[in-house]
Amino acid sequence: MTTATLDLMAVTAAAAQAAKATAAATDAERAGWLTAVADALDANASELIAIADEETSLGEARLAGEVARTSGQLRLFAKVITEGSYLEAIIDHADPSATPPKPDLRRILLPIGPVAVFSASNFPFAFSVVGGDTASALAVGCPVIVKAHSGHLLLSERTAEIVAEALAAAGAPEGIFALVSGRAAGTALVQDPVIKAVGFTGSIPGGRALFDLATSRPDPIPFYGELGSLNPVVITTKAIAARGAELAAGLAASFTLGAGQFCTKPGLVFIPAGTDFAAQLAEAGKDSAAATMLTARIAEAYPEGLRNVAAQPGVRIVSGSADQDALRNGAAPVVFSTTAANVLDRPEELLEECFGPTTLLIEYSSAEELSQALAKVPGSLTATLHSQPGEDVADLVGQLTGLAGRVLFAGWPTGVAVNWAQQHGGPYPATTSLFTSVGATAVRRFQRPVAFQDAPESVLHPALREDNPLEIPRRVDGVLELPRSSVHVSPVAGVGLPEDPALRLT
């Protein structure tokens, strides 16, 4: 047994011990831990941004926004757990007169246990050491062990120091958070029996290998992986006629944002045949500059991906060049074009993600051909539709909904709001599960349901006690109950929730 293995065992043993305390902590205590970490990130933002820019070349403006997003989502999860509905508390009282008699049943979601989180390369804060996976797991009472990304190792180590200090100062238990590095440590982490779930953002090959490890364990565990996404866009004939130049400008800005390294980059754009949209897009992006990519490995892979697309029969280059040295000169934008008929003939070759500032225009000749081509598109995080008012797009919306976890009708998919309604996940390979990795319901990945039957009140979680001491939303005997303090007041009408026989206030 190597020293590294012994060190990892010590880390996971500490996490297992901490899990008892984190599960027993109140929501208010855990919210305090999250807020303390958010405050520490903001207080050390300048130092962290400088380290991140040195390692990733993302630029201070982009990184400053990402730090703010990261601290903001920590504060969001603090609100989520103190609001209380995340527990999904349900009470069904006993009914001896029923046939057969019904016992008293009380159900709640509890923390699953220590969680492993794998940092992403393209978001060194928001999907890294203390990003959404870590924040949502800590929020519900799960200790977290983060596997640092090699692309920003110094940043990961410094961020981890700040997080650990903030948690300790806020009174969090020892062992609640740790950082490990190296591929071997990551593999061992997934296989460690202490770990009860994994959060991952990265490539399809890497994620799939870890997913297979997680599910082949003697005790298989959930693997919440975000792997790859083409994020298809559909533009109708009427939309191009009405605002083609505007759409071209928006697309150019979106697929080149961050050197095309966003997981929500629009990689496929379905347009009607016979329009001048390709020329409009070339004009809109003519001044887009080459940009440094996150790592040497990514920069070397980008031109290879471009050449693979360019080599396919029936593909032409609209703008840019597939012959480039992204490692030396930066990644330059490239727009390709082909037909839906060609996609139907070569789906495996053409419907493959190319990580970087490139997109593929796909011309369709009919609604039927569009539908057939969309049916070949793998699961994605997003799908976007640009149409005009009055167009009948119901069938198209239904098909796009089946493809993605978020469907947009205005704007572009790059940029993911962190709020209660967000869904950042989709059918495989976008994610390996249906749950989101961004937004309030991200916490659901790290909880498991437990029902207590005929339990004495003294052993029940406060959320399941008869008098509802936490004053949280609960479902009691099939009726949703809201404490009066949580009644939503409309900012327009100035009135409370409408009367509903299935909802009552306590």
Answer whether 227's CB lies under 8 Å from 204's CB. yes
Q: Is 226 a catalytic residue?
A: yes
Radius of gyration, alpha carbons of the chain: 25
Here the contacts of 419-424 (C-beta below 8 Å, separation 24 or greater) are 419/76, 420/80, 424/226, 424/381
Answer whether 153's CB lies under 8 Å from 237's CB. no
Answer whether 221's CB lies under 8 Å from 194's CB. no
For residues 433 and 223, what is the distance between their CA atoms, to the nearest angstrom? 8
Q: Which residues contact 484 (CB under 8 A, 6 or more apart)?
A: 505, 506
- Name the 3-class secondary structure at 294: coil
Q: Which of 55, 226, 363, 369 is catalytic?
A: 226
For residues 455 and 201, what is the distance between their CA atoms, to the nearest angstrom? 40
Helix locations, 259-295, DSSP H: 277-284
Q: Is 263 a catalytic residue?
A: yes
Q: Give, to the nearest 10 degrees, the angle between helix 27-43 and helix 60-83.
A: 170
Bridge partners (DSSP) listed for residue 147: 118, 180
Q: Which of 379, 369, 377 is nearest to 405 (CA)?
A: 379
Residue whose tokens read 């990130």: 41
DSSP per-residue letters across 408-459: ESSS-SSS---SSS-----TTTTBSSSS-SSSGGGGGGGEEEEEEES--GGG
Give Cα 163 to chain centroid, integer Å. Answer: 21
Q: Peptide bond preceding 100: is omega within 30 degrees of 0, i.e. cis?
A: yes
Which pair of structure tokens corresponds to residue 287? Answer: 């001044």
Of the chain, the end-to-end C-alpha distance in Å amounts to 57
Q: Which of 66, 263, 363, 369 is catalytic?
A: 263
**For residue 102, what is the DSSP state?**
B
Reading across the β-sheet that carries 233-235, which strands appear in turn?
Answer: 316-319, 334-339, 358-364, 268-272, 233-235, 380-386, 404-408
Catalytic residues: 226, 263
